[in-house]
Structure 1
């Protein structure tokens, strides 16, 4: 079985704006994470994004705009030799769609990735800047690591075996 590092998006891979990133022009990749993610990849970890995108339910941005951001994210990391295997997102918001199983702290996005890629959850980690990220990871059997928004991942590499 494979192992993975699941990554929240906003505040982990791109700059946290304090609210939704609604426009591609505001989507700023945290370049200080290139080296750390390359090291995790070299250690044999798949890198998979798990992100809540409730702004879609609110109508604040479109799936096309989100796809532009994710394509840019994957392409930019690929240029640095880092492969992001997939980006899963929840397009629901409890005030607009009611409750769902995929929105973090729900674990459905992680469970889908675990099944699709044949991942050993017990050998995997979820890096996020919100408690709901850690909770989602732990609900899926993955070790959660809480960081500050925009904190370099290199500062927590020692927590990952």
Structure 2
């Protein structure tokens, strides 16, 4: 059986609108519709789509696990309604000011490595798209190609970088 390939995606500024600090509720959660077509294209090309996100607002007490679950339910529902399956969403709930250093927070690569192992995604055939340098560093540390975009930039503008 041939190993899977995946496109790992940061959340804020990649899949939903970047609000500057934290998106704290499903009501403030605005999905970036310009990414429906390129993500559908990647999925149709055989890529798993897996979300990897730091959510330090939980550690800060700005929103709860329940709030985060509601945001992720909305994200999945909107993408699903457009024919796109998000295979899984991994998140780090820690923040260095509140929890010290953890292994899961990007630029650490643990969430990427766990997801790749769980879904049989070959790192050398996988990519991580993010809007922060820490996303690219995490992807590269996990053996993937990191792709840096601007916040809210259409993913379609970088599709040519994905084989």
The question of a shared fold, defined as TM-score above 0.5 by the shorter chain, is answered with yes
Q: What's the RMSD between the two structures over aligned residues? A: 0.4
Equivalent-residue separation in structure 2 for 1:152 and 1:5 (angstroms): 15
CA distance in 2, matches of 1:143, 1:74: 25
Across the two proteins, how many residue pairs are aligned to each other?
A: 161
Partner of 2:143: 141
Distance between the aligned counterparts of 2:116 and 2:16, measured in 1? 24
Once residues 103 and 60 of structure 2 are traced to their aligned partners in structure 1, the CA distance between those partners, rounded to angstroms, is 18
Q: Contact between 2:7 and 2:129, CA under 8 Å: does it hold in 1?
A: yes
Structure 1: give runs of 5+ residues left out of the alignment: none
Matched, 1:91 2:85: no
Distance (whole Å) between structure 2 residues aligned to residue 79 and residue 22 of structure 1: 23
Find 1:78's aligned residue among 77, 80, 85: 80
In structure 1, the residue matched to 2:105 is 103
1:9-88 alignment runs, 5 A limit: 9-88=11-90
Please give the per-residue CA displacement for 1:95-120, whole angstroms capped at 9, x wherever unaligned.
00000110000000001101100110
Q: Which runs of 5+ in 2 are unaligned?
A: none
How far the C-alpha of 1:23 sits from its partner, in A, is 1.6
Deviating beyond 3 angstroms after TM superposition, the runs of 4 or more aligned structure 1 residues are none
User: TM-score when scaled to structure 2?
Assistant: 0.98
Q: Report the secondary structure of 1:109's partner residue.
A: helix
Q: TM-score, normalised by structure 1?
A: 0.99
Question: 1:112-123, aligned counterparts within 5 Å?
Answer: 112-123=114-125
Name the counterpart of 1:2. Answer: 4
